[in-house]
Amino acid sequence: MNDKLVVGIADMKMARQNGMLVTYALGSCIGICLYDPLIQLAALVHIMLPLNMETGRKSPLKYADTGICETLRRMEAQGGSRTRIVAKIAGGARMFETPGGGNLGNIGQRNIESTHMVLRREGIRLLREDVGGTVARTLLFDAASGQACVRSYGKPELIF
């Protein structure tokens, strides 16, 4: 197994031609894999919240909307093309069932909806997804093949 590039929370990493990108323990957060197959450019961004409403916008990668746009911009700077870039996403679970717990339980669902909306708006085709439910996921993304793998607790690995 080659070295893995670890993507933290509110973080993004890119790899070209080879290398494995990984982000651990996605709960309500979403891992978005963006891939340009022609030049084998892969990016993985780990977002936490649906919409950026910060005034200073210091951490664009924390939010689905600004996170995706920023990642696309950096991919284009590396020679990626929006017309070829495709997406695979995982995450958006509901970790705790809290009756009357405010908007807590909905963050995952709102992240999924926001991610879908932003991808559609940016014209990026969503190939596969593994979202929702109540389990945490670890997402691996292979730059050579563009294949993603989801590992969760008590479930078989899912390759897509």
Given the complex with other proteins, which of 3 and 102 has the nearer CB atom? 102
Our answer to whether residue 29 is catalytic in this structure is yes
Tokens 């995952």 correspond to 108
Cβ neighbours of 149 (radius 10 Å): 16
Spatial contact of 48 and 61, defined as CB atoms under 8 Å apart? no
Q: Which residues neighbour 22 within 8 Å (Cβ) at sequence distance 6 or greater?
A: 4, 5, 6, 7, 44, 138, 139, 140, 141
Active-site pick, 29, 33, 69, 149: 29
Which residues are near other proteins by CB under 8 A?
A: 8-11, 24-29, 48-49, 53-54, 58-59, 62, 93, 95-102, 104, 107, 134-136, 138, 153-154
Given the complex with other proteins, which of 136 and 144 has the nearer CB atom? 136
Given the complex with other proteins, which of 72 and 93 has the nearer CB atom? 93
